[in-house]
Amino acid sequence: MRILFIGDIIGRPGREVVSAELPALRRDLKLDFVIANGENAAGGFGITRTIANDFFSLGIDVITTGNHWADQKEILSFIKDEDRILRPRNYPHGTPGKGAGLFESREGLRVLVVNVMGRTFMDPLDDPFAAVEAELIACPLGEAADAVVIDMHAEATSEKMAMGHFCDGRASLVVGTHSHVPTADAQIFPGGTAYQTDAGGCCDYDSVIGMEKFEPVQRFTKKISSSRFSPANGPATLCGVFVETNAKGFASRIEPVRIGGRLKQSVPES
């Protein structure tokens, strides 16, 4: 299978680069399945029904999220009936929505997608490792799923990397989100699981992690907050990872994707 995972889409610049570039990527890379993290899609905070529908019509099959999943309160009215949007699996019991789902690709292949959140320098949620373990046992790669993708939404590199190794040999791809900057460690672990610590954000990189830079710099230097954070408005870079899997569901190839905007470009060959 050919899978594209797109990192946190941040505000209008992020949405625009995804809608401009995804159709050609789908065609050129012959993508079977597309997952995108949408937690910052609406003005940097959360996601709306309209934006989610736009993503689905672009060919995004599943939307993952993270700590900002419920920043737009309207999501509480539709996440229960929308299996294609995931929120972190390790939120308290009873939280609306789901943290994992088994989806079908256009070719009829089964893709398990799990979204969890780290606990280091973040809210103290349930154990993300136990949450992933439960999903991997319930839906094993090569048996109940043809591909398994884990979005580990976390602050700490160490926690994301530990999750990658924890899943090695049991997932097709473990990819980090939340830090909004792509890391240069795309690799396939010894057991066959593709890994990258952070997919990177889809945002204008003349910014502080996608946000207009004046306010964050002011808060760091003067400890005064004078306005809300808002997404930086220059041309954005689409950031993600492209993975090809073999018949057993293990990764045979991983390539970082960076298209548009200021970052050094990285476009996988088809």
* Closest approach of Fe ion to the CB of residue 143, in Å: 32
Asked if 237 is part of the footprint of Fe ion (rule: CB under 5 A), the reply reads no
* Closer of 8 and 255 to Fe ion (Cβ): 8
Report in angstroms how near the CB of residue 61 gets to Fe ion at its nearest. 20
User: How many CA atoms lie less than 13 Å away from 101 in the CB half-sphere?
Assistant: 21
Cα(86)–Cα(38) distance, integer angstroms: 10
Site for Fe ion in 26-85 (CB under 5 A): 39-40, 66-67
Give the interface segment with Fe ion, choosing from 2-10, 18-26, 44-52, 126-134 (CB under 5 A): 2-10
**Residue nearer to Fe ion on the CB measure, 46 or 66:** 66
Q: How far is the CB of 259 from Fe ion (least distance, A)?
A: 19
Q: Catalytic: 180? A: no
**How many chain residues touch Fe ion (CB under 5 A)?**
6
The piece of 1-9, 72-80, 130-138, 229-237 that touches Fe ion (CB under 5 A) is: 1-9
- Helix H, strand E, coil C: the string for the chain is CEEEEECCECHHHHHHHHHHHHHHHHHHCCCCEEEEECCCCCCCCCCCHHHHHHHHHHCCCEEECCCCCCCCCCHHHHHHHCCCEECCCCCCCCCCCECEEEEECCCCCEEEEEEEECCCCCCCCCCHHHHHHHHHHHCCECCCECEEEEEEECCCHHHHHHHHHHCCCCCCEEEEECCCCCCCCCEECCCCCEEECCCCCEECCCCECCECCHHHHHHHHHCCCCCCCCECCCCCEEEEEEEEECCCCCEEEEEEEEECCCCCCECCCC
What is the per-residue binding string for Fe ion in 168-187, x denoting contact by CB under 5 A?
A: ----------x---------
User: CB count, 10 Å around CB of 220?
Assistant: 9
Q: Which of 2, 3, 4, 8 binds Fe ion (CB under 5 A)?
A: 8
Q: Which residues bind Fe ion (CB under 5 A)?
A: 8, 39-40, 66-67, 178
- Give me the active site residues, please: 68
